[in-house]
């Protein structure tokens, strides 16, 4: 761990809304997935799914920027959790992708579904790893002061 | 995530630590359960690949039954009991219970949803003129809400609690704050599960 175990409580420290933004991104791709799945086995209209997918990707990009600007953060704990969770959710996403391919989803709808599954497979590990690491990050007094 | 804690003495919560028996090591992801998860994932994958009705129905019914039952039982029966336990008892129960849930719930959810979508396609329930189509779209919405709660709120809290409990001196306030999420979402999850029961029994009888 990069953080120490003494000092102010981790509950005192305020973090950017990384988990909230990732949860909203997850919610958006869930909505997009519902829109697409409700048309199966027909070819779905893609306008609305592409809009929600774009919004989800934008949120995720903002999220990653906010995350990497953090100081005094338990990065080793974050990466430990993130890589194992990513493996688990990549398997889940791969299975869903397989089901869509098996059901003859092709072309643009498959691209949109794949992009949504990538957002899903990244956002869930991001939420889990951030939640674990934020409570493992003991702030220095200086970082507490600068973030207030 | 599979790391083991150093041997520590004490219980959760500052100031309660010194005379208690040694806390058990918490394995966040129980490795012994992974082969069972792998078997389930392979079984569901084969069922989808083969489009076989019975395995798909088996995975969906068994997975869905377990998901709903566990959610309702834990939320309405086990949760309130844990809430009335002493802090050391609560900590010990959580340390033994939560790691199992880390494996069981995602597996059961994956089994239910993957097999369910394929089953709907095989039996034609998703066809636009099928009387079950609207019910299934509503069930997608219900499952979507539950998925966001489970993946975005509950699972991160569950894993964070286990990591906190693995610390030499777990912070009781942090654990209490994280566990509040389960209390806040129990009612909504219960409502969604009851809605799922209504929808699925309608679909099965139309």
Each residue of B164-195: pLDDT tens digit? Answer: 888 888 888 888 888 888 878 878 888 899 99
Mean pLDDT of A78-95: 92
Chain A closest CA to B157's CA: distance in Å? 7
How far A29 CA lies from chain B's nearest CA (Å)?
10
Residue B148 near chain A (CB below 8 Å)? yes
CA-based nearest residue in chain A for residue B121: A41
Whole-number pLDDT of residue A139: 59
What's the mean pLDDT in B57-85?
A: 90
- In whole angstroms, give the CA distance from residue B162 to residue B100: 11
Asked if residue B57 has pLDDT above 50, the reply is yes
Rounded CA separation A56/A27 (Å):
8
- Cβ-Cβ contacts under 8 Å, A79 against chain B: none
Q: Do A124 and B151 touch (CB under 8 A)?
A: yes
| Residue A38 to residue A68: CA distance in whole angstroms | 37
Chain A residues close to B44, C-beta within 8 Å: 95
Percent of chain A with pLDDT over 90: 61
Whether B144 contacts chain A with CB within 8 A: yes
What would the two tokens of residue B41 be? 């994932």
- Which ranges of B74-205 would DSSP assign to H, the alpha helix? 79-83, 87-123, 133-149, 155-165, 172-205
Pick B141 or B5 by higher pLDDT.
B141
Averaged over B34-47, what is the pLDDT? 93
More confident residue, B70 or A147: B70
Give the whole-number percent of chain B exceeding pLDDT 70.
Answer: 88
How far is it, in rounded angstroms, from Cα B47 to Cα B107?
A: 15
A123 C-beta neighbours (distance < 10 Å), count = 27
CB nearest to A103's CB, from B2, B121, B159: B121
CB contact under 8 A, A84 and B2: yes
Q: What confidence tens digit (pLDDT) does each residue in B119-173 have?
A: 998 998 888 888 999 999 999 999 999 989 989 998 999 899 888 888 888 888 8
The rounded distance, in Å, linking the Cα atoms of B51 and B65 is: 21
Q: Which of A63, A61, A41, A37 is nearest to A49 (CA)?
A: A37
The interface predicted TM-score of the complex, written ipTM, equals: 0.83
Q: How confident is the model at residue B75 (pLDDT cuts 50, 70, 90)?
A: confident
Instruction: Report the share of chain B in percent with pLDDT over 90.
Output: 38
Interval A12-41 mean pLDDT: 91
pLDDT at position A83 is 95
Residue-level pLDDT at B43: 95
Look at residue A146 in the predicted model and tell me its pLDDT. 47
pLDDT at B95: 85
Nearest Cα neighbor of B28 from A17, A22, A136 is: A136
Give the mean pLDDT of chain A: 86
Q: How confident is the model at residue B8 (pLDDT cuts 50, 70, 90)?
A: very low
Q: Is A90 on the interface with B (CB under 8 A)?
A: no
Whether A103 and chain B come into contact, CB under 8 Å, resolves to yes
DSSP calls for B185-206: HHHHHHHHHHHHHHHHHHHHH-
Instruction: Judge whether residue A7 has pLDDT over 70.
Output: no
Range from A2-11, A83-92, B99-108, B166-175 carrying the lowest mean pLDDT: A2-11
Residue of A95, A103, A131 with shortest CB distance to B157 = A131
Q: Report the residue from B45, B51, B151 with minimal CB separation from A26.
A: B151
Cβ of B169 and A5 within 8 Å? yes
Top-confidence residue, B10 or A48: A48
Reported as a single tens digit per residue, the pLDDT across A28-56 is: 999 999 998 888 778 889 999 999 999 99
C-beta atoms of B156 and A98 within 8 A: no
Q: pLDDT tens across A112-134, in order?
A: 999 999 999 999 999 999 999 99
Q: Which of B36, B58, B33, B56 is nearest to B46 (CA)?
A: B56
Per-residue pLDDT at B190: 86
């Amino acid at each position: 761990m990069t953080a120490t175990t003494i000092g102010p409580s981790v509950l005192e420290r305020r973090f950017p809304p990384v988990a909230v933004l990732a949860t909203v991104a997850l919610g958006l791709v869930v909505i997009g997935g519902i829109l697409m799945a409700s048309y199966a086995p027909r070819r779905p209209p893609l306008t609305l799914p592409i809009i929600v997918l774009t919004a989800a990707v934008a949120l995720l990009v903002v999220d990653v920027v906010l995350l990497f600007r953090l100081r005094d953060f338990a990065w080793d704990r974050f990466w430990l959790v993130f890589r194992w969770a990513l493996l688990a959710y990549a398997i889940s996403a791969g299975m869903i992708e397989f089901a869509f391919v098996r059901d003859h989803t092709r072309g643009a709808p498959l691209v949109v579904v794949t992009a949504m599954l990538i957002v899903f497979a990244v956002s869930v590990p991001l939420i889990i790893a951030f939640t674990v690491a934020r409570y493992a990050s003991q702030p220095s007094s200086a970082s507490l002061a600068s973030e207030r | 995530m599979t790391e083991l804690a150093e041997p520590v003495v004490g219980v959760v919560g500052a100031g309660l630590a010194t005379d208690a028996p040694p806390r058990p090591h918490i394995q966040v992801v129980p490795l012994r359960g992974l082969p069972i998860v792998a078997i389930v994932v392979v079984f569901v994958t084969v069922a989808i690949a083969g489009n076989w009705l019975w395995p798909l129905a088996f995975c969906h019914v068994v997975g869905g039954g377990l998901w709903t039952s566990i959610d309702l039982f834990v939320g309405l029966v086990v949760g309130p009991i844990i809430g009335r336990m002493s802090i050391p008892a609560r900590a010990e129960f959580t340390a033994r219970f939560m790691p199992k849930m880390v494996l069981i719930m995602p597996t059961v959810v994956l089994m239910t949803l993957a097999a369910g979508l394929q089953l709907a396609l095989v039996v034609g329930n998703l066809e636009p003129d099928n009387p079950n189509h609207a019910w299934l779209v509503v069930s997608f919405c219900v499952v979507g809400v539950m998925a966001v709660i489970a993946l975005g709120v509950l699972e991160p809290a569950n894993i964070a609690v286990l990591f906190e409990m693995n610390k030499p001196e777990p912070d009781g306030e942090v654990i209490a704050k994280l566990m509040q999420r389960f209390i806040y979402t129990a009612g909504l999850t219960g409502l969604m599960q009851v809605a799922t029961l209504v929808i699925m029994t309608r679909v099965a009888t139309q």
